[in-house]
């Protein structure tokens, strides 16, 4: 891969992570929550993603929305400890599930994780992300989590 002045830019190993609240449009309708401001679930997910960003110096490429609340997001982490990262992601998933029970919204979170090379190009939309090798694999992992019932983490 070539950089700004034509010099080679090394790719680094990392993780691509897609997070998405399961059936959340239905949950918002059922609970009477607005999609234009944070609710207990999307506000909390925003904070949880920001905590992961701070801990792992992650780059959020799409979806984090403090003004409206985060329903879905994609981030990349350079050279994470995979075991620690999965433990932290499981904690996020459990926290959303717990809050879903407390609010009687039954909200759940699915997470797709893929490991591979992180490119130097930074996509700006979900569509662009899923056209990158790492983003596509993380998206497939998320879809597998949702297809098998949601409320889980799938890694590939």
0.75 exceeded by pTM: yes
Dihedrals phi, psi of 16, to nearest 5 degrees: -105, 135
Per-residue pLDDT at 122 = 77
Question: What does the DSSP 8-state code read for residue 76?
Answer: E
Per-residue pLDDT at 124 = 74
Q: List the one residue out of 97, 132, 94 whose CA is nearest residue 27.
A: 97
Per-residue pLDDT at 9 = 60
| Per-residue CA distances from 51 to 34, 60, 156 (Å) | 24, 12, 23
Q: Which residue reads 């409320």 in tokens?
A: 151
Q: Which residue reads 């075991």 in tokens?
A: 83
Per-residue pLDDT at 5 = 54
Per-residue pLDDT at 3 = 45
Per-residue pLDDT at 8 = 58
Question: d(Cα 72, Cα 145) in Å, to the nearest integer?
Answer: 14
Question: d(Cα 113, Cα 99) in Å, to the nearest integer?
Answer: 23
Question: d(Cα 156, Cα 94) in Å, to the nearest integer?
Answer: 21
CA–centroid distance for 29 within its chain:
23
Question: d(Cα 105, Cα 148) in Å, to the nearest integer?
Answer: 20
Per-residue pLDDT at 1 = 45
What are the residue ranges in the chain where pLDDT is below 70? 1-9
């Amino acid at each position: 891969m070539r950089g700004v002045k034509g010099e080679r830019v090394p790719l680094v190993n990392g993780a691509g992570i897609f997070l998405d609240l399961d059936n959340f449009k239905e949950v918002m309708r059922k609970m009477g929550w607005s999609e234009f401001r944070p609710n207990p679930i999307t506000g909390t997910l925003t904070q949880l993603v920001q905590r992961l960003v701070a801990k792992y110096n992650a780059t959020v490429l799409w979806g984090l929305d403090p003004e409206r609340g985060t329903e879905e997001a994609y981030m990349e982490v350079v050279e994470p400890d995979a075991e620690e990262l999965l433990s932290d992601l499981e904690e996020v998933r459990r926290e959303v599930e717990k809050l879903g029970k407390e609010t009687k919204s039954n909200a759940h979170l699915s997470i797709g994780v893929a490991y591979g090379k992180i490119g130097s190009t930074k996509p700006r939309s979900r569509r662009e992300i899923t056209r990158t090798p790492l983003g596509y694999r993380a998206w497939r992992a998320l879809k597998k989590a949702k297809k098998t019932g949601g409320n889980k983490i799938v890694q590939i």
